[in-house]
Structure 1
Amino acid sequence: MTLYSAPFDSPVGTLTLVADDAGLIAILWPDDAPGRVRLEDARDDAAHPVLSATAAQLAEYFAGGRTAFDLPLAPRGSDFQRAVWRALDTIPFGETRSYADIARAIGRPGAARAVGAANGRNPISIVTPCHRVVGTSGALTGFAGGLATKRWLLAWEARGAAIA
């Protein structure tokens, strides 16, 4: 299956958008750890319909005009990981949930650590909002884009949620 990629300049750095013909596969951070999201080589194609739609919706998000995404998603992962990622999609804009909350939401209340691991493997950052997951105490915990970026995204959304 052919993969397509395109850069997207954002307030949190240049992101790499990756899609196949089924949907968005990944949004990679500038300093993403090699192997966090395993992808074969992708060819540059900013005009690919999924990538252009993703870029347009991310631009709206960062301009303050979008609080939810409507994109075809095709993340690659185990059944458990995909269940966690679907649960992330239910976290409302401007709100957070704990790893334990997500574990309960997927019917695995004792799996908070496994949820944390799956959250860390979320390939579609921002669109599938893994940045909205915090520790039970409310503390910011690991994030592929870095804790400063997670803090920025949460503050950005809190500002937008207050206006809405």
Structure 2
Amino acid sequence: MTDTMIRIAAGLERAFAARGFAEPSVEDLRDAAGVSLRTLYKYMPSRADMVLAALEHRHARYLAHLFDRLPDGPEAALDALLERVGTWLATETAHGCLFHGAVAADPGSVPLREVLSRHKAEVAHRAGEATGLAGREIELLVLMEGLTQAWSLHTDAAVISAKRLGHGLRSREAG
């Protein structure tokens, strides 16, 4: 991906995260991307391409936020991972999961469902490896998705509860 494409995708991600997928006009998206309409369409010829580019950018940022420089040891990694989900929710996600939002805005889109599935599978796989819970990806995904939903109501208490549940999962796995 070129620097221009990354810059455009970053602007589109910000626009969709702030305003949803239906509201921003093409002119709003152009302004958010910081390019001319011609340049925007050169790199992303349709709104669907713009949404997918924004989600790919979000995917890369989320993975880096969660998994870069995790502490050694499965328990410390689990705590850090769940704390990072909480930090992401506090700083990046005002309206819930952007991937689920995209699918909700266009439920018949196979490419959106595929990017959602790939995103969640990669997060769960990497979480399983980092926490010593490989093979328990569904449980980890339920835990992380539950944290995502509960965070807006309970903030730090949701993170603490997710850690408790995660450690319970780890102790059952070890036992």
Give the TM-score taking structure 2 as reference length: 0.28
Larger radius of gyration: 2
Q: Name the structure where strand makes up a greater proportion of residues.
A: 1
TM-score by length of 1: 0.29
